[in-house]
Amino acid sequence: MIPNVVSIAGVDPCGGAGVLADVKTFSALGAYGCGVVAALTAQNTRAVTGIHEVPPEFLRLQIDTLFDDVAIDAVKIGMLASAPLIRTVADALRRHRPRFVVLDPVMVAKSGDRLLRADAVEALRLELLPLATVVTPNLPEAADLLGTPVADSPEAMRAAARALREHGPANVLVKGGHLPGDRLVDVLFDGERFVELAAARIVTKNTHGTGCTLSSAIAALLPQRHSVAAAVRDARAYVLEAIRAADRLHVGGGHGPLNHFHQAWAA
């Protein structure tokens, strides 16, 4: 069966991140993609120039209307911007109980612009972490959620993953995109076992939406794989190829988007 997957996130008009990138990722990985919009952004590959939040009641209406009709297999949660929006999504997830929830705790865009109000970090930690099948913080996000210094080694990443899991998610994937050096490691922890996923850093400035794409790929694959580790491994392989093929696209002058359809558009 083709799984139905929904992204609950912001819209990035240049299509490199947010709901548009998420739906491209679902489509590329054999899932039917739905999208619920929590915020509009004015954004290109260089900067975020504005954020317009959807009223929480309308976010709730979008989610409830979708779930009332469509059997959703997996949910990917991206940028939620504020505590009321976070609480609205948490409440909806508790009522609708989807099988898989991938939480990307988006706080800052690749351009450096802040996407989450500072007071919302606590709501994210208290309300959404316990509902996640997998939470996918990058290193600064893991540090913000824990109130600790930013991890700078695989050992510190393992400690962060262990500490984050205490807040309730079934699995924690701490992403190493911000590590220095030419070897990147992501650390997956399921409460018992650590899996380290290492890869060589691809030298490119086209890394807009790597985090959105990875979390969406995991959401698309969880219903199609036998284990969380297998979904994460295959999602990561997809993202690496999408980064590698990004230079074929010519979108903007800043951090360009990934090539989500690198398989279908192979030259």
Ligand X SMILES: Nc1ncnc2c1ncn2[C@@H]1O[C@H](COP(=O)(O)OP(=O)(O)OP(=O)(O)O)[C@@H](O)[C@H]1O
Candidates 117, 167, 178, 225: give the one binding ligand X (CB under 6 A). 178
Question: Looking up tokens 């995991």, which residue turns up?
Answer: 218
Candidates 18, 33, 56, 176: give the one binding ligand X (CB under 6 A). 176
- Are the C-beta atoms of 134 and 171 separated by less than 8 Å? yes
Binding mask 217-246 for ligand X (x = CB under 6 A): -------------------x--xx--x---
Binding mask 86-125 for ligand X (x = CB under 6 A): ------------------------x---------------
Among this protein's residues, is 207 annotated catalytic?
A: yes
Among this protein's residues, is 209 annotated catalytic?
A: yes
Binding mask 135-164 for ligand X (x = CB under 6 A): ---x--------------------------
Q: Which of residues 188-227 bind Mg ion (CB under 5 A)?
A: 211
Choose the binding region for ligand X from 19-27, 33-41, 42-50, 174-182 (rule: CB under 6 A). Answer: 174-182
Q: From the CB of 115, what's the least distance to Mg ion, in Å?
A: 9
Among this protein's residues, is 34 annotated catalytic?
A: no
Q: Which does 175 bind (CB under 5 to 8 A by kind): Mg ion, ligand X, none?
A: ligand X
Query: Does residue 199 bind ligand X (CB under 6 A)?
Result: yes
Q: Please provide residue 256's backbone torsions phi and psi, each rounded to the nearest 5 degrees.
A: -75, 165
Of the candidates 10, 212, 213, 256, the residue annotated as catalytic is: 212
Contacts with Mg ion: how many residues (CB under 5 A)? Answer: 1
- Are the C-beta atoms of 3 and 32 separated by less than 8 Å? yes
Question: Looking up tokens 């959401």, which residue turns up?
Answer: 219
User: Exposed/middle/buried for 94, CB within 10 Å: 0-12, 13-18, 19+?
Assistant: exposed
Of the candidates 10, 18, 33, 211, the residue annotated as catalytic is: 211
Residues 6+ apart with CB under 8 A from 168: 129, 130, 131, 132
Catalytic residues: 175, 207, 209-212
Residues that bind Mg ion (CB under 5 A): 211
Q: Where on the chain is the footprint of ligand X (CB under 6 A)?
A: 110, 138, 175-178, 184, 186, 199, 201-202, 207, 209-212, 214, 236, 239-240, 243
